[in-house]
C-alpha cells in the first residue's frame, strides 16, 4: 500500500507566500495533529550555523508552533550539539546563536532548547539491533513523549548527497558521541598540539583507554599527577569508539574522523533514525523544498549554489516516502539534479528493507 505525501507547489521567495502555503498545508494535516490537552510536543529543526542564511525562517517555524498551540498542546523547538567547531558545539553558544538568528520565543512562539545538554552528552542509550551501529545515545525525552514533529530544510549533503528528514532525525536527534559513530568506523585520537592536559577525557572514558603520555616517553599513565607538558593518549586497542572524549574536550583536541564509505554512513543513519522514531507514537514530517542548497545548513553560506529551483512544501507520516518524493521532484529538472544518485538510492532501499517506510507513495497536491 502506497503512503500519502501531501504537496503544495511553491516557487516564491516572498515570505508571506511561504507562510500562507505552510498554513494551508498545516490545516490539511489536521487529522494527524490530534494532540492531548497540555501535551508536550517536540519540534525538531536546525537553525543552521552562523554562516548559513538559507535555514528555515523563524516566521515559518511560528506557523508550526501556532498550529500546535491551537490544538491546546505545548510545542517546544529543539536541536542537539554538533561535533565540529562552531557556534553549535555547546548549549551556551547554540542558544546564543538561536537568539541572534531570530529563534527567540517572541518570534517563533515556542521555547528553543538544546536537548542533549550543555556539552552534547546528556541522554540515554538504546540498543538498535544493528551490527553497524549497535547502540545510540539520544536526548532523554526520547521514549518519554508520544508525539514528534520533524521540520526539515531539504539540501544537498557532502556524504549522503541528499540531506532530508532522515538525516534531520538520525544526526539531529543524536548526542554528539552518536554523531561521531555514524560518521566513522575509525577510533578517535589526540591532537597533541591542542591538548591542554586538563584530564577531562581521561575522567569520562568508560574503559580507561585514555591516559597521560609523558613528554618524550612511550609510557602512559592514568595518574592525575603529571607534568604540564604531558599529553593525553588514546590506546587504540582498549578504545571502544564511544566518542565520549569528543564531548568532554573543550579544546578540539580529540580528532574527528570524517572519512567513511557513504553507503555505510547512510545505513547507520537509517538504523539510528528507525530506533529513534520507534519511540514515538505520533509522527509528522514536514519538509521545505525551498532554497535547496548544494551543501547542508551546517556549512552553506550566502553564496551557496542551488541544486534546483524552489519546489514547494511537502509532508507525510512516512519519513522515507517523504524524502524520496522530494528527491524525485528535484530530479524532474534534468538541468539540475543530484549526482551520485546511487548513494541515496541505496539508503532509501535499505530503509525500506528495514521497515523505516515505503518507497511507493501517492503525491497529493493540496
**pLDDT of 265-283, one tens digit each?**
999 999 999 999 999 999 9
Most confident of 202-211, 237-246, 255-264, 320-329: 320-329
CA pair distance 171, 307, nearest whole angstrom: 22
Lookup result for grid cell 542548497: 293
- State the pTM of this model: 0.85
Q: For residue 248, what pLDDT is reported?
A: 80
Q: Which three cell numbers stand for residue 320?
A: 522515507
Confidence of residue 108 (pLDDT cuts 50, 70, 90): very high
**pLDDT of 58-92, one tens digit each?**
999 999 999 999 999 999 999 999 987 789 989 99
Identify whether the C-beta of residue 299 lies closer than 8 Å to the C-beta of residue 310. Answer: no
Q: For residue 261, what pLDDT is reported?
A: 82
Domains within the chain, CATH numbers bracketed: 3-183+260-365 (3.40.50.11440), 192-248 (3.30.70)
* Number of CB atoms found within 10 A of residue 293's CB: 23
Q: For residue 181, what pLDDT is reported?
A: 86
Q: Is 257's pLDDT higher than 80? A: no
CA pair distance 115, 138, nearest whole angstrom: 9
Arithmetic mean of pLDDT, 163-183: 93
Q: For residue 189, what pLDDT is reported?
A: 86
Arithmetic mean of pLDDT, 338-348: 87
Q: Is 159's pLDDT higher than 60? A: yes
Q: For residue 238, what pLDDT is reported?
A: 83
DSSP notation for 129-158: --SSS-EEEE-TTTTT-SEEEEEEE-EEET
DSSP 221: B
Amino acid at each position: 500500500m502506497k503512503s500519502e505525501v501531501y504537496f503544495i507547489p511553491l516557487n516564491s521567495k516572498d515570505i508571506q507566500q511561504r507562510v500562507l502555503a505552510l498554513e494551508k498545508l498545516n490545516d490539511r494535516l489536521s487529522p494527524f495533529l490530534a494532540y492531548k490537552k497540555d501535551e508536550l510536543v517536540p519540534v525538531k529543526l536546525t537553525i543552521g550555523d552562523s554562516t548559513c542564511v538559507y535555514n528555515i525562517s523563524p516566521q515559518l517555524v511560528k506557523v508550526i508552533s501556532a498550529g500546535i498551540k491551537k490544538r491546546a498542546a505545548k510545542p517546544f523547538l529543539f536541536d542537539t550539539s554538533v561535533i565540529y567547531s562552531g557556534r553549535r558545539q555547546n548549549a551556551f553558544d547554540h542558544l546564543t546563536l538561536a537568539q541572534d538568528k531570530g529563534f527567540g520565543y517572541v518570534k517563533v512562539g515556542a521555547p528553543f532548547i538544546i536537548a542533549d545538554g550543555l556539552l552534547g552528552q546528556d541522554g540515554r542509550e538504546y540498543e538498535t539491533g544493528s551490527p553497524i551501529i549497535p547502540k545510540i545515545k539520544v536526548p532523554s525525552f526520547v521514549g518519554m513523549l508520544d508525539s514528534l514533529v520533524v521540520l526539515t530544510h531539504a539540501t544537498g549533503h557532502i556524504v549522503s548527497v541528499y540531506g532530508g528528514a532522515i538525516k534531520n532525525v538520525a544526526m539531529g536527534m543524536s548526542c554528539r558521541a552518536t554523531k561521531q559513530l555514524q560518521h566513522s568506523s575509525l577510533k578517535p585520537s589526540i591532537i597533541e598540539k591542542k591538548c591542554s592536559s586538563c584530564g577531562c577525557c581521561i575522567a569520562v572514558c568508560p574503559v580507561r583507554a585514555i591516559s597521560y603520555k609523558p613528554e618524550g616517553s612511550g609510557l602512559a599513565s592514568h595518574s592525575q599527577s603529571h607534568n604540564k607538558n604531558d599529553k593525553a593518549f588514546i590506546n587504540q586497542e582498549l578504545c571502544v569508539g564511544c566518542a565520549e572524549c569528543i564531548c568532554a574536550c573543550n579544546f578540539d583536541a580529540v580528532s574527528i574522523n570524517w572519512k567513511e564509505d557513504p553507503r555505510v554512513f547512510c545505513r547507520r543513519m537509517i538504523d539510528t533514525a528507525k530506533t529513534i522514531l520507534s519511540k514515538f507514537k505520533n509522527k509528522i514530517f514536514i519538509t521545505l523544498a525551498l532554497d535547496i542548497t548544494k551543501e547542508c545548513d551546517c556549512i552553506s553560506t550566502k553564496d551557496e549554489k542551488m541544486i534546483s529551483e524552489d519546489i514547494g512544501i511537502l509532508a507525510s507520516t512516512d519519513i522515507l516516502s517523504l524524502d524520496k518524493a522530494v528527491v524525485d521532484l528535484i530530479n524532474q529538472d534534468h538541468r539540475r539534479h543530484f549526482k551520485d544518485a546511487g548513494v541515496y538510492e541505496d539508503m532509501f532501499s535499505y530503509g525500506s528493507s528495514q521497515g523505516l517506510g515505503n518507497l511507493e507513495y501517492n503525491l497529493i497536491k493540496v
